[in-house]
Structure 1
Amino acid sequence: MIKTIIFDFGDVFINLDKQAIFRELSLLGPISTEEISEINLLYEVGKISTFECINLFQKILTNASKDEITHAWNSILLDFPKHRLDFIQKLALEKKYNLILLSNTNELHIDWIKKNVSFYEAFRSSFNYFYLSHEIQLRKPNTDIFEFVLEQHQIVPNQTIFIDDTKENTDTASKLGIHIWNNDPKTEDVSNLFTLKSNLF
């Protein structure tokens, strides 16, 4: 019986264009996916600040301004359909499940969301616990981020489901005995959780 539901954020609640960052940064000058990934890995776990992150990009993209880099960085973020807010708010009101958000999210992205998603605070307050990688300095798909959540809240893995669009993230959770839903954001919607995963509830 499921008691805890752990949700990813991007491409579960807010829609993403995952190719956009490379596409937009490439318009500012020559840069490789490896260079972007290297900076992102540091930034996503809070090992470098926003200032340091932008500075590293400016060393590669020597003619790019801070605003241009910020705009390119945030281009991954698309719309947040309101029906998904309705879904999580309804779940929160029912108080049947321990609701946790576990997201690889950096400061620039969450700042953009706070400014551009009018119901962000209502969304955040729907969860019992809300974990962003740059705040806890842990990231998926590493095992330690899942172990942190399980231990922090004394969660039983086989009474838990984890929902994430990235297979390597759900693979790690599955190895720990957590039920998973590796959702396809193009064809599946989180609001259909109880229909698509009815065998678990």
Structure 2
Amino acid sequence: MIKNIIFDFGDIFINLDKQVVFKALQDNGIQDFLPKYHSINEDFEVGKISPQEFVERLQPDFPHLSPQAITDVWNSMLLDFPEYRLNFLENLVKENRYRLFLLSNTNALHIPHVIKIMGTESFERFKSSFEQFYLSHEIQLRKPNHEIFQFVLEQNKLNPQDTLFIDDTKENTDAANELGMKTWNLMVGKEDVVNLNDRL
């Protein structure tokens, strides 16, 4: 029986355009998402580097772009947060049937931009819906590493068998599965988190 639900953020609640960064790279003559970009992104997502350092590491590949322009490209993958999803979440809170948690791989540039997109009031409504609001750059752990899931389970004394983890990235749900959690690998564009009851 599910007692706890851990939600991802991007493409679960807020819509993303993950291709926008690839397009920007291609526009600059870079055809592949090189290993160094994965490394830079991972360092940024666990708070090892600051926003300024992140931009500085990317700057050599975008010599004609200002630091602000690079930041704008990076943030442009964040789209809208539909109000109906926020309403769904708040109704779930009112039902008081589950302990709710957020667990997101994100960074120190994206969160201020999310607040700008949503507005401070809506963002606070969203954040306050969760018992804990875990952002990778703040806890210095990221999915799909087992440590991040173990951290959440142990901090909140959660039984993995009673816990559902929802994420759009199969690598992440596979890792949670390995630790005994129930999972929903949500198929973006085909499924929506508001149909959660169909999965419980």
TM-score (norm 2): 0.94
Counterpart residue number, 1:75: 76
- Answer whether contact 1:165 1:182 (CA < 8 A) is retained: yes
Partner of 1:129: 132
- Alignment partner of 1:52: what SS? helix
> What are the Cα deviations for residues 52-84 of structure 1, in whole angstroms up to 9, with x where unaligned?
001111133222201110111012111111111
Q: Does 1:101 align with 2:102?
A: yes
Instruction: Give, as a single letter, the amino acid of the residue that structure 1 aligns with 2:195.
Output: N
Matched residues in 2 for 1:30 and 1:164: separation?
29
**Alpha-carbon deviations, 1:109-162, whole Å to 9, x = none?**
111001111211111111110000000000000000000001101100000000
Aligned positions, number:
197
1:32-47 counterparts in 2 under 5 A? 32-34=32-34, 35-47=36-48
- 2:80–2:117 CA contact under 8 A, matched in 1: no
Amino acid at match of 2:50: S
Return the alpha-carbon distance in structure 1 between the equivalents of residues 186 and 162 of structure 2: 19
| Offset at residue 31 of structure 1 (A) | 7.1
SS in 2 for 1:24: helix
One-letter amino acid of the counterpart of residue 4, structure 1: N
- State the alpha-carbon separation in 1 of the partners of residues 75 and 105 from structure 2: 14
**Preserved contact between residue 30 and residue 61 of structure 1 (Cα < 8 Å):** no
- Quote the Cα distance in structure 2 between the aligned partners of 1:67 and 1:29: 20
Instruction: Report the Cα offset of residue 91 of structure 1.
Output: 1.1
Within the candidate set 169, 172, 177, 1:174 is matched to: 177
- Structure 2 gaps, min length 5: none
Q: 1:164 to 1:174 in 2, by over 3 A?
A: same
Q: Secondary structure at the match of 1:139?
A: coil
Deviates more, 1:29-38 or 1:84-93: 29-38
**C-alpha separation between the residues in 2 aligned to 1:97 and 1:13?**
18
Tell me the amino acid that sits aligned with residue 107 of structure 1. Answer: A
User: 1:131 is paired with a residue of what secondary structure?
Assistant: strand
Q: Distance in 2 between matches of 1:73 and 1:27?
A: 14
Matched, 1:66 2:67: yes
Rounded Cα–Cα distance in structure 2 between residues aligned with 1:30 and 1:186: 28
Q: Structure 1 residue 46: deviation in Å?
A: 0.3
RMSD: 1.3
Q: Which moved more, 1:87-96 or 1:65-74?
A: 87-96
Unmatched tracts of structure 1, length 5 or more? none
Q: Match of 1:162, SS?
A: strand
Paired residue for 1:16? Answer: 16
